[in-house]
Homo-oligomer: A and B are copies of this chain.
């Protein structure tokens, strides 16, 4: 299939690479040129403008946030100049307000819009083992399914309204942040009685909480090792903000979300914005004077 791919950060580069390996013709665009060249080396073609990447059956976008997606997809005119019938497979984590706007805009220009955000970090993307939640028009989803199969280990279909996949991704990230904060508070509590975080988390993440999220972040909290950042704390703050604003739009209070936002803001104010967001799990130790 002829595929446009826009956004070659750590995640996008891995995902696009897998599409190339699977034999697809991939037109790549990225603001900076390094990853473009890297993928050209793997067989991609370079698109000189975002609009050029829309000269394809399916365009995948994997940009950092609302603002960059707005700039590259909308303000560049790429979408407005797209052929009717193209499918836009939007895989980034975006706000529900912005996705609503995107849905409307795509309808106007006759481009199909699918939300398909992913769970998994860079290494998982490279391995093609992402978990993908997808929602959009049935026929369009069926058409891109082979691409999702290449990029992910499992696709979780959520119906026709793209916002549904969008909100599940936001809820999932909120749950991760909660797990991190929970481990941080529990660690501060037991440490004050002489039990090291590593000892606590070794027990819990091998029993009741023997899940990837807890094992992964638990190891970082146990060692209080928050660099290098696989996912920056400032991005975590942004994602918790997505949950809070999505909730606000529907009058859903999220008291844990509010605590998370406050603690993440505090972390940024204390100079920890560049650390991995698991550093949220170190705040409780600091706050209680134990680190």
A contacts, CB < 8 Å to B: 96, 119, 131, 133, 154, 156, 158-159, 161, 163-164, 166-168, 170-172, 174-176, 178-179, 181-183, 185-190, 192-195, 199-200, 203-204, 207-214, 241, 243, 246-248, 250-259, 261-263, 265-266, 268-271, 284, 287-290
* In contact, A269 and B252 (Cβ under 8 angstroms): yes
* In contact, A252 and B176 (Cβ under 8 angstroms): no
A207's closest neighbor in chain B, by CB? B131
* In contact, A259 and B258 (Cβ under 8 angstroms): yes
- Copies of this chain present in the complex amount to 4
CB distance from A273 to the nearest CB of B (A): 8
Known: A131-B207, A261-B253. A171 touches B190 (CB 8 A): yes
Which one of B163, B185, B266 contacts A288 once the chains associate, using CB atoms below 8 Å?
B266
Give the distance in Å from the alpha carbon of A271 to the alpha carbon of B288 in the complex.
Answer: 10
CB distance from A11 to the nearest CB of B (A): 16
Specify which chain B residues have a CB less than 8 angstroms from the CB of A176 in the assembled complex: 208
* In contact, B195 and A168 (Cβ under 8 angstroms): yes
CB distance from A137 to the nearest CB of B (A): 16
CB distance from A261 to the nearest CB of B (A): 7
Give the distance in Å from the alpha carbon of A164 to the alpha carbon of B214 in the complex.
Answer: 22
CB distance from A141 to the nearest CB of B (A): 16
Give the distance in Å from the alpha carbon of A269 to the alpha carbon of B252 in the complex.
Answer: 7
Which one of B182, B187, B250, B289 contacts A178 once the chains associate, using CB atoms below 8 Å?
B182
Which one of B174, B207, B254, B257 contacts A154 once the chains associate, using CB atoms below 8 Å?
B207
* In contact, B211 and A193 (Cβ under 8 angstroms): no
Which one of B96, B270, B289 contacts A270 once the chains associate, using CB atoms below 8 Å?
B289
Known: A176-B208, A211-B211, A289-B271. A252 touches B195 (CB 8 A): no
